[in-house]
Copies of this chain bind each other. A is one copy, B any other.
Amino acid sequence: MNVNQMNVKRDMKINELMEEFSASGVLGAGRVGRSCELLANMLEEENMSIFMSVAGPLVPGGLRNIIASMIKNKQIDVLVTSGANITHDLLESFGGKHYRNYGFDDEELNEAGMGRIGDIYTKSNDFEVFETKITEIISKIAIKLTNPNNSGNKPNIISISNFLYEVGSLIDDENSILKLAAENQIPIFAPGLIDSMLGLQLWMFTQENDLVLDALADMHDFSDIVFESPKVGAIILGGGLPKHYTLASNLLRGGLDAAIQITMDRSETGSLSGAPLEEAKSWSKAKCGSNLVSVVGDVTILFPLILAGALDKITSK
């Protein structure tokens, strides 16, 4: 098979560029082309549940609406992410913003009350609002849990996923990932939730109140989804805990049927974040014969590009 030389032109559509990438078929462009085709197939496949893992600062980094729209359009069935992305989703729901162009002098930023994530900035005022609002929400959830009508038999104990559902239900923001996930019954799993500003507020709440976040309970729900899905495809954005949890949960069913991943991490250190998806086959976390495409690069560039291309390739959804 030949490498076709690519062409670009004025007024080009993203899907036309994807066709050029697929016709070239090599290096990064080839991988993007293949991942776009695979994503379209995954989204169209009726019997396939789509798990999406989101690591890295993708909500602060501009992908909040994109993730939210995938939930709204039921393009994904499960979201696995970090406590940080959930915190930043809530920060925007409570009126906060993410900022840019404040320079790289971290001591000056500290004095100005700004936190830095690469070239993204947060303001401490926004976090103060976050703390007040989230504490109110946690209180409401804790009260609900102790309500005698609460069907569960463990008062004060809640799984991470159920906690996030309750938070989402109490948010008044139609752009919120948490809100839309709650409305659309898309579960969010965040095994490392406690390691975030939201986790910190949860812990502070427990200093004077009785609330237990059950780290194991999520697996009951997650395993049900895994077992009940005829097929599972994964969209793996970044590495970390979200990637591992997504892969590992599929061990229960003999592995994923298809997956794309986008990561800038390298494979040589042995860390899962940079590991090629093929490695998952050895562990039965991806099926032998499954369709797997890894792309090396920045998720904020590549995922919008690949998703937009895939949307044009599907006839339904």
Give the interface of A toward B (CB within 8 A). 1-15, 17, 20-21, 24-30, 32, 55-57, 60-66, 69, 84, 92, 97-101, 106-107, 109-111, 114-120, 154, 157, 160, 175, 191-196, 199-200, 202-203, 206-207, 211-220, 223, 238-241, 244-245, 248, 251, 264-275, 278-284, 288-289, 296-302, 304-305, 307-308, 311-312
CB distance from A197 to the nearest CB of B (A): 8
Q: Is the CB of B160 within 8 A of A27?
A: no
CB distance from A283 to the nearest CB of B (A): 5
Chain B positions within 8 Å of A84 at CB level:
244
Q: Is the CB of B273 within 8 A of A28?
A: no
Q: Is the CB of A55 within 8 A of B311?
A: no
Most B Cβ at <10 Å: residue of A6, A55, A64, A114: A6
Q: Is the CB of A7 within 8 A of B65?
A: yes
Most B Cβ at <10 Å: residue of A63, A213, A214: A214
Chain B positions within 8 Å of A270 at CB level:
26-27, 56-57, 60-61, 117-120
A-B CB contact pairs (8 Å), 18 listed: A3-B62, A3-B97, A7-B65, A24-B62, A25-B100, A26-B62, A27-B61, A28-B298, A106-B279, A106-B280, A109-B281, A115-B283, A116-B279, A157-B157, A202-B216, A207-B220, A265-B273, A269-B298
Q: Is the CB of A29 within 8 A of B62?
A: yes
A129 to B259, CA, bound (A): 31
Q: Is the CB of A6 within 8 A of B219?
A: no
- Do A282 and B106 form a contact, CB below 8 Å, given A20-B304, A100-B2, A215-B213? yes
CB distance from A123 to the nearest CB of B (A): 11
A40 to B296, CA, bound (A): 26
Chain B positions within 8 Å of A66 at CB level:
5-8
Q: Is the CB of A301 within 8 A of B21?
A: yes
Chain B positions within 8 Å of A193 at CB level:
215
Chain B positions within 8 Å of A98 at CB level:
2-3, 26
Q: Is the CB of A10 within 8 A of B298?
A: no
A154 to B288, CA, bound (A): 45
